[in-house]
A and B are shown apart, each in its own frame.
Chain A
Amino acid sequence: MILILFSTTFSYSEHKVNTSIEVPSPEPRKQLIYIVSDNRIPFWAIMGRGITNSASMLGYEINIYSSENNAKRELEFIVKAIQDKVSGIIVSPTNSSACVTILKLAKSAGIPVVISDVGTDGGEYVAYISSNNREGAYQIGKILTKKLFELGWGESKIGIIAIPQTRLNGQARTAGFIQAINESGFKGVDIKQQSTFTKQETYNLTKGMIIEHPDLHAIWLQGSNRYKGVLQAIADSGKKDKILLLTFDAQPEFPELIRQGILLASAMQQPYLMGQEAVSAMDRHLNGKAVEKNRQLPIIIISRENIAQQLKTIKRTFPGTQETDIEN
């Protein structure tokens, strides 16, 4: 559900350049495979570009298979990869549980695996590349509390509409946000979890919270899709200027919403960079070098204050992307 904003045009251009370079090799080139949960989603597509770019630069043949959120297809790709005796597998699994099976099968075939985002519930892998969700959520929390004090809502209640807390990234985001809130002396926090991810569900959760807590002045949506459900509920409750909204991950219209003050702030991961890091880790492993097992990449925070500076980057990151939800 995220539109990936690349931090550097540099890396993007490098990627472009490297894929076009033909590296002559006396031996057949080592083959890597990237199995992605759904390449139709921009976040993964951008990550795929980062991977392709980096693999080409390092002289690997790279194939990208999109499971399209289908566990069976994902498994079929893994089996195929094993049958093809690829040198390494980079995976953004459909979920962390399915990843365990992938790791198991790969292990039995002796193929190294690098996980790029989502994570795994277990098993052996070379490296896990992820965003520093906790840190991002912490900064979002800081921006919120600062704003609440500015507005004189120091005693305010804060609501969280959370993604499922069974997900590792969900837990990290909550922990980081709560830490910031606590450091600023706020105590009244209410958490409600999404499960169906429909607009109606989000609307209902928000409305319930507003009714339950009259002193509610802030809502943090841990994802970014269905933000309209939140805005709708706030408007219907007649609290339009009384409740601040924050999100995590971005939508293309967010810069405009931030500028208008409808959205206070949001966080953006860096999929291109993550893809590059995944290939780099695999390469190091295949060359027998030490690899940092859990690599966390920083998250970019955009708010009214820094939107002008980040805009260039954001805009460069968005060309060709749809205004659809991007799920990660």
Chain B
Amino acid sequence: MKTDYPERSLYATLGIIIISTVTIITSIHSAYVYIETKNKIIQEMKYSSKHTIVTLQKNIANLIASYAINEYDKLTLSEMNHRANFAIIVEDYNMGKILGKKAYTSGKIKADNGNIIDYNPDNNEQNKQLEECYYSDRDDITSSQGIKLGSITIYISDHSMQIQLNEIIKTTIIKSVILSVFLILSLFITIRFFILQPLSNIIGIINNGDADGIPVKRIPNHGSTEIFDLANTINHMIRSIKDSRIKLTEQHNKLKVHEDQLHRSQKMDALGTLTGGIAHDFNNILGVVSGYAELLESRLKEQPKLARYAHEIVTSGERGAKLTRKLLSFSRNVESKESKLNLNTVLYEEKNMLEKTLTVRIKLVLKLAEDLWFVRLDKSDIEDAILNMSINAMHAIAANGQLTLQTHNESLSSLNAKQLGLEAKDYVVLSIIDTGCGMDKKIREKIFDPFFSTKGEKGTGLGLSQVYGFMERSKGTINVSSEPGQGTQLNLYFPRYEENNNKILSADGHQPTNLKGNEAILIVDDEPALLDLSREILSQQGYHVFCAEGAKQALEILAAQHINCLFSDVLMPDMDGYQLAAIVQKKYPYIKIQLTSGFSDDRHLNQQSDTLHQYMLYKPLSSHSLLQRIRTLLDEPEDIQGK
């Protein structure tokens, strides 16, 4: 079935068809002419012989009667000359009588060389030729009185007919050849100029392709209808292929972007989980250290020297806490206090501070869009991010340079949004542009990784990780464009603030000054050290504190004791804080509930626990914030909670 080689050339095929067609047609035609001619000749012969006989009969009768032998001889000769007879033989009974024979036989016959010669009855050769004659006609010659004077016989040979018929065959062959040659020539010319030439032009254009083999040029559509159609069809095909390629490239690029994004988010997730886990444990440890140091400090008021030591521990703890917060911030596990903001306002407020930080060698330029949309952000987070990135820019600028902070509104098309890994909606874009050293691809790909720094001891490598975590929390994104020596531009996309999202419950409400109380508080935490620390802090202020190391124990205590407030950790092995809270809210609706967690995690967010989540206390807790929160909670009217 498969053909690796082209079949024979179009020329050859058409040539064969033409030759056979012409041959068949001319053969049929010739056969017809042949038969026609043959019949005509035979007809003519018969007519001619009849005519000859009729004309000769009467004349010869007279001549025989008058013994004018030479005269009828002349007559037969002239008849032979005028008609294509092979022979005319006359039997003369009168002369026969004179000679003492039945008849005197004479006549004319055509010799082999075509000359007409006398017939000699004794010539066997001639007699044989007469016998072989194709046609003969004999008639009596009678006088007007009806006496038989003799006879006349006309012989017709098919020799001349054969010559004529051969001539027909010959002309047929010549005609066929000429016609074939003519037709083939004209067809070759036609095919060459109207089919093969345009085809080879088309092939040439198709072969002139780009790297993918797709033709660069369109096929000019002119020529015959068929070639025109072909050109159009091929052009259409080329166009389709080109379109498909564009789509394919687009899809490929999208896929690549998605893949990169997936890759990055997987990496970031993994890093987040890792750092989050470490930070969580570390945070708990720090909490215990700092908590006890605080307690120690408050007890050692009379011994100033020891109190100072305890204070040092508290300060270091705070620094440690700050670090873990940075880590947690990257892994999103931080408490955020979002509010409706105008980025331009934030930038104005920050301007002075930034100029001081950047010093005079770096010029700070603000390019702020008018009517900038609002965003919903944690103000301190955005301030931190701006500072972080500005400091990076400062580090990147060796001598003098410029830092541009730019804002604008942008409605992302679905395509652009997809490429950025965002939803297609309105965004406020903050761009931080510096004229620094820039980055190569290798660095560019790692800048958001925690602890990635090119600054050695001087850098922690957490600055941009923090920014990244912040952007994730903000449901926005950050991208970087930078080339070595070309400066760096970071673009931060923040979703536009939407009015129906404005139920911001400010954490900054009324802050109680009296932190003491005597209510019964049940503390639930699987970490004994933290359990102890919390109990110490609360009991110092006069609260009746009960402790449980898990939910099960807590429920037992609740069943036995009157409890005013439940203070529970979220992450616990058998039952988590939310589940416990749910049970308590159902069984003991009067009990106020406060949850605490090391992670800012959205997993358990639901209608019921929305408020609980909202007021979550994040670890490590300062004793002050714990006491303040508990006091506020207990002082709230009962119906606020559980809604």
Q: Which residues of A contact B (CB under 8 A)?
A: 71-72, 74-76, 79, 97-101, 104, 121-122
Q: Does B168 contact A (CB under 8 A)?
A: no
Whether, in the assembled complex, B19 has its beta carbon less than 8 Å from a beta carbon of chain A, the answer is: no
Query: Smallest Cβ distance from A33 to chain B, in angstroms?
Result: 16
- Nearest to B67 among chain A residues (CB) is A71
Query: How far is the CB of A167 from the nearest CB of chain B, in Å?
Result: 15
Contact among B70, B74, B98 for A72, CB-based, below 8 A = B98
Complex contact B98–A76 (CB within 8 A): yes
Residues of B within 8 A of A (CB): 66-71, 73-74, 94-95, 98-100
Docked Cα-Cα span, A72 to B93, in Å, equals 13
- Name the B residues within 8 Å of A71 (CB-CB): 66-68
CB proximity of B119 to chain A, nearest CB, Å: 12
Residues of chain B lying within 8 A (CB to CB) of residue A75: 67, 69, 95, 98
* Residue in A72, A99, A104, A122 whose beta carbon sits within 8 Å of that of B67 in the complex: A72
A121–B77 CA distance with the chains assembled, in angstroms: 14
Residues of A with C-beta under 8 A to B73: 100-101
List, sorted by A's number, 28 A–B pairs whose CB atoms are closer than 8 Å. Answer: A71-B66, A71-B67, A71-B68, A72-B67, A72-B94, A74-B67, A75-B69, A75-B95, A75-B98, A76-B98, A79-B98, A79-B99, A79-B100, A97-B68, A97-B70, A97-B71, A97-B74, A98-B67, A98-B68, A98-B70, A99-B70, A100-B69, A101-B69, A101-B73, A104-B69, A104-B70, A121-B74, A122-B70
Q: Which of B68, B69, B70 lies at the interface centre, i.e. has the most chain A CB atoms within 10 A of its CB?
A: B70
Q: Which residues of A contact B74 (CB under 8 A)?
A: 97, 121
Residues of B within 8 A of A99 (CB): 70
* Closest chain A residue, CB of each to CB of B100: A79
Contact pick for A121, options B66, B70, B95, B99, CB 8 Å: B70
Q: Contacts of A72 on B, CB cut-off 8 Å?
A: 67, 94, 98
User: A122 to B99, alpha carbons, bound, how many Å?
Assistant: 21
Q: How far is A314 from B66 in the complex, measured between Cα atoms in Å?
A: 38
A109 to chain B: closest CB distance in Å? Answer: 11
**Across the A-B interface, how many residue pairs have beta carbons closer than 8 Å?**
35
Interfacial chain A residues near B69, Cβ < 8 Å: 75, 98, 100-101, 104
- Which partner residue on chain B sits nearest A82 by CB separation? B99
In the complex, chain B residues whose CB is within 8 Å of the CB of A104: 69-70
Query: Nearest A residue to B94 by beta-carbon distance?
Result: A72
A72 to B94, CA, bound (A): 9
Cα separation A122 to B74 with both chains bound (whole Å): 11
Question: Which residue of chain B has its CB nearest to the CB of A122?
Answer: B70
Q: How near does chain A come to B405, taking the closest CB pair, in angstroms?
A: 141
Besides A75-B69, A98-B69, A98-B70, 10 new A-B residue pairs in contact (Cβ under 8 A), listed by A number: A71-B68, A72-B67, A75-B67, A75-B98, A79-B100, A97-B70, A97-B74, A101-B70, A121-B70, A121-B74
A237 to chain B, nearest CB (A): 39
| Given A72-B98, A76-B98, A100-B67 contact (CB < 8 Å) | no
> Once bound together, how far apart are the Cα atoms of A244 and B601, in whole Å?
169
In the bound assembly, the distance between CA atoms of A76 and B71 in angstroms comes to 18
A-B pairs, 7 with minimum CB distance: A100-B70, A71-B67, A101-B69, A97-B70, A72-B67, A101-B70, A75-B98
Taking CB atoms, residues of chain B closer than 8 Å to A97 are 68, 70-71, 74
A75 vs B70: C-alpha distance when bound (angstroms)? 12
Q: Which chain A residues lie closer than 8 Å to B100 at the CB level?
A: 79
Residues of A with C-beta under 8 A to B94: 72
A100–B70 alpha-carbon span in the complex (Å):
6
Q: In the complex, which residues of chain B have a beta carbon less than 8 angstroms from the beta carbon of A100?
A: 69-70, 73
A75 and B67 CA atoms in complex are apart in Å by: 8
Give every chain A residue within 8 A of B70 (Cβ-Cβ). 97-101, 104, 121-122
With A and B bound together, what is the CA distance between A164 and B68 in angstroms?
19
Distance A105 CA – B221 CA, assembled complex (angstroms): 93
Q: How many angstroms between the C-alpha atoms of A272 and B67 in the bound complex? A: 29
- State how many angstroms separate the Cβ of A85 from the closest Cβ of chain B: 15
Bound form: Cα–Cα A75–B65 in Å: 13
Bound CA–CA A71/B62 (angstroms) = 13
Q: With A and B bound together, what is the CA distance between A71 and B67 in angstroms? A: 6
Chain B residues with CB under 8 Å of A101's CB are 69-70, 73
A98 to B73, CA, bound (A): 11
* Least CB separation from A74: chain B residue: B67
Roughly how many angstroms separate A97 CA and B63 CA in the complex, as a whole number?
12
Shortest B241–chain A CB gap in Å is: 98
Docked complex Cα distance between A70 and B552 (Å): 176
Q: Whole-angstrom distance between the alpha carbons of A98 and B74 in the complex?
A: 11
Question: In the complex, what residues of B have CB within 8 A of residue A122's CB?
Answer: 70
Assembled-state Cα–Cα distance A20/B138 (Å): 57
Chain B nearest Cβ from A76, distance in angstroms? 6
Q: Within the assembled complex, what's the spacing in Å between the Cα atoms of A121 and B69?
A: 12
CB distance from B96 to the nearest CB of A (A): 11
| Residues of chain A with a CB closer than 8 A to B99's CB | 79
Chain A residue at smallest Cβ distance from B122: A108
Bound form: Cα–Cα A9–B230 in Å: 118
CA distance A140 to B67 in the complex (A): 37
A74 to B74, CA, bound (A): 19
Chain B nearest CB: distance from A82 CB in Å?
9
What separation, in Å, do the CA atoms of A122 and B69 have in the docked complex? 13
User: In angstroms, how far is the closest chain A Cβ from the Cβ of B118?
Assistant: 8
Chain B min CB distance to A93 (Å): 10
Of chain B, the residue at the smallest CB distance from A96 is B70
User: Closest residue to A101 on the B side, CB-wise?
Assistant: B69
How far does the alpha carbon of A79 sit from the alpha carbon of B97 in the complex, in Å? Answer: 11
Q: Whole-angstrom distance between the alpha carbons of A74 and B69 in the complex?
A: 12
In Å, the complex CA distance between A101 and B70 comes to 6
CB distance from B98 to the nearest CB of A (A): 5
CA distance A104 to B69 in the complex (A): 10
Most A CB atoms within 10 A — which of B66, B67, B74? B67
The chain A residue with its CB closest to the CB of B118 is A104
Q: Smallest Cβ distance from A56 to chain B, in angstroms?
A: 30
Please report the C-alpha to C-alpha distance between residue A71 and residue B92 in the assembled complex, in whole angstroms. 14
Q: How far is the CA of A99 from the CA of B73 in the complex (A)?
A: 12
Please report the C-alpha to C-alpha distance between residue A259 and residue B99 in the assembled complex, in whole angstroms.
53
> How close is A89's CB to chain B, nearest CB, in angstroms?
16
A148 to B579, CA, bound (A): 176
Contacts of A121 in B (CB 8 A): 70, 74
Distance, CA A36 to CA B68, complexed state (A): 17
Q: How far is the CB of B65 from chain A (nearest CB, A)?
A: 9
A9 CB → nearest B CB, Å: 39
Most B Cβ at <10 Å: residue of A75, A79, A121: A75
The interface residues of chain A lying within 8 Å CB-to-CB of B68 are: 71, 97-98
Roughly how many angstroms separate A104 CA and B99 CA in the complex, as a whole number?
13
Closest chain B residue, CB of each to CB of A80 = B98
Chain A: CB-nearest residue to B66: A71
A79 to B94 Cα, complex, angstroms: 13
Give the CA-CA distance A71 to B68 in the complex, in Å.
7
> A123 to nearest B CB, angstroms?
8
CA of A101 to CA of B95, assembled, Å:
11
Q: Write out the residue numbers on chain B whose beta carbons fall within 8 Å of the beta carbon of A79.
A: 98-100
Chain A positions within 8 Å of B71 at CB level: 97
- Give complex CA distance A193, B66 in Å: 24
The CA-CA distance from A183 to B132 in the complex, in Å, is: 60
Greatest chain B CB density within 10 A among A71, A76, A122 is at: A71
Q: In the bound complex, what is the Cα–Cα distance between A72 and B73 (angstroms)?
A: 16
Bound Cα distance A121, B73 (Å): 12
- Shortest distance in angstroms between B490's beta carbon and chain A's nearest beta carbon? 136
B95: which A residues are within 8 A, CB to CB?
75
Give Cα A72–Cα B65 distance, bound, in whole angstroms: 9
Chain A residue nearest in CB terms to B69: A101
Distance in angstroms between the alpha carbons of A100 and B67 in the assembled complex: 12
Closest to A103 in B: B70
| Bound form: Cα–Cα A101–B73 in Å | 9
Q: How far is the CA of A152 from the CA of B95 in the complex (A)?
A: 59
Bound-state Cα–Cα, A266 to B73, Å: 38
A297 to B98, CA, bound (A): 35
Q: Which residues of chain B come closer than 8 Å to A76, judged between CB atoms?
A: 98
Give A71 to B63 CA distance when docked, in angstroms. Answer: 11
Q: How far is the CA of A98 from the CA of B98 in the complex (A)?
A: 15
- Residue of B with least CB distance to A121: B70
Complexed CA–CA distance, A82 and B259 (Å): 137
